[in-house]
Amino acid sequence: MRSEQNLLQDVLKKEEFEVYISEEDIHRRTKELGRQIADDYEGRVPIFVGVLNGSFIFLADLIREVPIDCEIDFLKISSYGDEKISSGNVSLLKALDCEIEDRDLIVVEDIVDSGLSIQYMRKIITAMKPRSLKFVTLLLKERDNSIAAPIDYVGFRIPDKFVIGYGLDYKQKLRNLRAIYIEKESNVE
């Protein structure tokens, strides 16, 4: 059986990565977020909206930690393509299938980078008149130039570096890694 390190080397060739957030830490934090969301939505039936493709692993683990009735839908947007950084252009590839007027929505992201995607989703979803709209992300990049996009539930705050694994991809690959990996710092002098 191949290790995650072997898979990383096969796909990325020369780039070196190391575990940044372990599978155990992801599980622990997901459980905490699930409990917090369940407390906040007690007596309500929220719709969890997964943002495809990256959030599907986090969403699946998160809703198993939310012991209240809920619904699930998905939308798909594009802002990265096959690049490591956002293109800055956001477009809708798949709209919601459910009726959201007067409903409680929780949008689930894998990572929030510039905040452009959050602003875009907030605008299109708000126009559909939900009762409430909250955002949860597994990872929030700490950037000086981030666009103001309040996130209600944050798993981990991370540096402005390229990360992969646990749903996060590189050219649609490596989503299946159980941990989150970050590029190793080069020792260039």
Could you tell me if 119 and 147 are in contact, meaning their C-beta atoms sit under 8 angstroms apart? yes
Nearest Cα to 78, choosing from 172, 178, 183, 174? 172
Is residue 27 over pLDDT 70? Answer: yes
At the topology level of CATH, where does 24-153 sit? Rossmann fold (3.40.50)
User: For residue 93, what pLDDT band results from cuts at 50, 70 and 90?
Assistant: confident
The residue annotated as part of the active site, out of 61, 104, 110, 113, is: 113
Q: What is the mean pLDDT of the chain?
A: 86
Is 113 annotated in the active site? yes
DSSP-assigned letters across all residues of 20-47 = EE-HHHHHHHHHHHHHHHHHHTTT--PE
Location of structure tokens 């072997």? 6
Does this model's pTM top 0.75? My answer is yes
Q: What was the pLDDT predicted at 88?
A: 62
| Amino acid identity for residue 30 in this structure | T
User: For residue 89, what pLDDT band results from cuts at 50, 70 and 90?
Assistant: confident
